[in-house]
Amino acid sequence: MALSKSSSTDPSTNPAGAAEKPLRILLVDADPAYLMVNRQGLEQEGYEVLTATDGGSALELAKSSAPDLIVLAMVLPGMDGLAALEALRAQERTRATPVIVLSSNMERRLVERSRKLGAVDYLPKQSKATDPATLSGAVATWLRSRRVRPPEYSRQGGSQDEQNAAAKA
């Protein structure tokens, strides 16, 4: 089992002057070099990044650390990405956690199966040199779709829109 945690602090602050918590991303891939390059790219964007190199470790870390977003490769030792995604959806604590899938296999059936399991995006896995920008762009797109910026995001309460809707209910 291989787990890694790395953190970047977000320099922005809330109106009260306390530092905001960065968005927590769980990055899962079997290739440690790929993880390192992409972790560094996401950290430079101000995210807190946790990493795992297999499906079982990813499930354990997702359950214990409550990431805001999971980036999940399809090819993993032991449990593949689809099985891990199914297991994430089966657990109450991780059922609603957004997942972006990474795969070099763009077969329509895999993309559709991932979407049916709730993946918010399915990205082609490219070279180490281009993936940090691709991954960072996908995370930014996901945030824009939720109208959330990392400094305004609350792990416990969801987006500001979700918090406002809950307050009105």
Residue 22 pLDDT grade (very low, low, confident, very high; cuts 50, 70, 90): confident
DSSP 45-114: TT-EEEEESSHHHHHHHHHHH--SEEEEES--SSS-HHHHHHHHHHSTTTTT--EEEEES---HHHHHHH
Cα gap 65→52, rounded to integer Å: 12
Count the domains in the chain: 1
Q: Which CATH number belongs to the domain containing residue 58 in this structure?
A: 3.40.50.2300
Residue 134 pLDDT grade (very low, low, confident, very high; cuts 50, 70, 90): confident
Cα gap 122→165, rounded to integer Å: 29
Helix (H) or strand (E) holding 20: none
Statement: the pTM of the whole predicted model exceeds 0.75: no
Domain that holds residue 7: 3-168
Helix (H, G, I), strand (E, B) or coil at 32: helix
Are 22 and 46 a contacting pair, CB within 8 Å?
A: yes
Buried b (16+ CB within 10 A) or exposed e, 99-115: bbbbbeeeeeebeebbe
DSSP 102-128: EES---HHHHHHHHHTTEEEEEE---T
Residue 155 pLDDT grade (very low, low, confident, very high; cuts 50, 70, 90): very low
Does residue 161 register a pLDDT over 50? no
The pLDDT tens digits for 58-97 are 999 999 999 999 999 999 999 999 999 999 999 999 999 9
Q: Please provide the average confidence, as pLDDT, over all residues in the chain.
A: 77
Average pLDDT over residues 44-59: 94
pLDDT of residue 147: 57
